[in-house]
Amino acid sequence: MTECETAEVESPLNVVSNGYEVGERATSDVIVRLRTVHGRDDWFYTHSKILCAKSQYFALRLSDDWPTYHLLDSRYCVEVLCIENDFDYHVNLLRMMYSNLDEPVGDMWHSVKNALGMLKVATKLGCSAVASKCARYLEAVPWEESEEEEILKALPAIVGSSHKLVAELAAEVQPILARLQPVEAVSVRNVFLCAVHAATAPQSRSKYLEKSPSDLKVAAQEQVEYMLEEDDDAPLLIPDDDLKTDLKKHFLKLFKGFKAELSAHLTDSTKDLKLSEKTIFEKVCDLVWASRVLPHVGLNPDFVEFWVEASSEITQTLNTAKLRETSWNTKLLVVEITATVLKAVGYGDVILTTNDRIQLVKVWLPFFRETKPVLDSLFEGEKMELEMDLDLSESIENSLVSLVLSLPSDDQAEIFADWLRWNHSWFPDLSEAFEVWCCRSKAAKRRLNIEVPNGANAISSVGA
């Protein structure tokens, strides 16, 4: 390849230093040849005084200590091999050696990609001043996700290099990696607890913030769930006993606040009914979110226990004259929470006593069958935005079937008799459980080796 003067490559920088100019052939005493494996070979007319002052690599390369320095060509020509993608960064670095490095950092790089490319080349050639400015820029500016990946690929190699020119610069890039280092467990725990409090904070506490409170709550709720989620990466934190204790106290306070608001809505005649209904709805929304989060921190049994204990009070309150024909959005969310509880109990994830399981079915079965037709009607009439959809309905039915079949036979009989007498709605459909009960009841004595006296009926007709 024939020689090409640097003047043919445009530069955005002022490349004059101490009266010298890169590409000035008349005063140049050394040629820098940038070469790539693909055959690119560009010549740059430079000055050893500038190169040696700004680059440890060139200072070593042009010193008497370099093994081939005394060869004639080696004194006046330095070859630098590079990959094609880094070629422009090498050119820019040569020009930057002739520029004023005291100008503001941000004006030099214009982008994370450019600064990272310059950092790699400056490190390779031992240009500490340029590398320092690159590192300061990268540490201070925001990164896109794709830029983070590039930084993670490049910087560890720079930091871990044993090359003496690089080793002196490694400390400059450590602050950049600090942004990507794993967070200490104590810090994660503090952020997590703060996020939980923000995710369940009353909207009135955030009314002076610029963003709407609901946006802030949703953001906090999403990030709490993400911290606990196990995807391609492990969860951000694993709850220990102390964290569980703190969370249990917080959510117990949330539960009590919900019950207190329900009670006050009925007994306090001075309360603004619309405001009270809005507050109740907000608290139920928080409980819906809690029902999704608590299983991830090992507190699902505590959630289920509270809900079972409060079930009678909740359903009685929602069925009072004051609330019977209102608060349908709240009732739908209550149905969602109960569906989660039924699923946990029905499939054995949470173990309850027989009496608690009987109570759970007998309290919520009438509520479901009375509430669902109204919810469906309101949604079809476009009087509600939320819907008791098919997935929720099927989840309730499947959980109830499992739960009912876990009860003593006589209690099952009582539940089925009540279910069959209800003519207004077939929801929830317990046909599958009823069929199993019939088969079990018919075969029970034979299977248990209980003899039936001659002439006696297996089931007495008295009272039928």
**How far, CA to CA in Å, does 227 sit from each of 106, 234, 239, 241, 445?**
34, 9, 11, 18, 53
Picking from 295, 276, 273, the residue whose alpha carbon sits closest to that of residue 284 is 276
403 and 345 in contact (C-beta within 8 Å)? yes
Q: How far apart are CA 458 and CA 448, in angstroms?
A: 14
Q: How many CB atoms lie within 10 A of CB 222?
A: 13
CATH superfamily, with its number, for domain 6-178? Potassium Channel Kv1.1; Chain A (3.30.710.10)
**Cβ neighbours of residue 342 closer than 8 Å, sequence gap 6 or more:** 360, 364, 395, 396, 399, 400, 403
Q: In the structure encoding, which two tokens stand for residue 56, read together?
A: 């440890």
Q: How many CB atoms lie within 10 A of CB 253?
A: 11
How confident is the model at residue 104, as a pLDDT?
Answer: 59
Q: How far apart are CA 311 and CA 245, in angstroms?
A: 24
Q: How far apart are CA 138 and CA 140, in angstroms?
A: 6
The segment(s) of the chain belonging to CATH 3.30.710.10 are 6-178
* Crossing angle of helices 409-421 and 431-447, rounded to 10°: 140
- Residues 132-144 as b or e (16 or more Cβ within 10 Å = b): bbbbbbbeeeebe
**Cβ neighbours of residue 438 closer than 8 Å, sequence gap 6 or more:** none
Q: How far apart are CA 171 and CA 93, in angstroms?
A: 21
Q: How far apart are CA 123 and CA 83, in angstroms?
A: 15
92 and 44 in contact (C-beta within 8 Å)? no
pLDDT along the chain (464 residues), means of 10: 34 50 88 92 92 90 73 74 93 88 63 90 88 88 91 80 60 81 92 95 60 77 94 89 95 93 77 79 94 95 95 91 86 97 96 96 95 92 87 96 96 95 83 95 78 51 41
How confident is the model at residue 106, as a pLDDT?
Answer: 52
191 and 202 in contact (C-beta within 8 Å)? no
Tens of pLDDT, residue by residue over 73-122, are 656 889 999 999 999 999 999 988 888 776 655 556 678 999 999 988 98
- In one letter, which amino acid is 261? E
How confident is the model at residue 108, as a pLDDT?
Answer: 62
Instruction: Tell the residue number behind the tokens 């608060």, with chain if given.
Output: 327
**Cβ neighbours of residue 407 closer than 8 Å, sequence gap 6 or more:** 354, 357, 358, 361, 415
How confident is the model at residue 8, as a pLDDT?
Answer: 32
Picking from 330, 331, 352, 353, the residue whose alpha carbon sits closest to that of residue 341 is 352
In the 3-class helix/strand/coil scheme, how is 444-463 assigned residue by residue?
Answer: HHHHCCCCCCCCCCCCCCCC
Angle at CA of residue 188, ends 183 and 191, nearest 5°: 130
- In one letter, which amino acid is 102? D
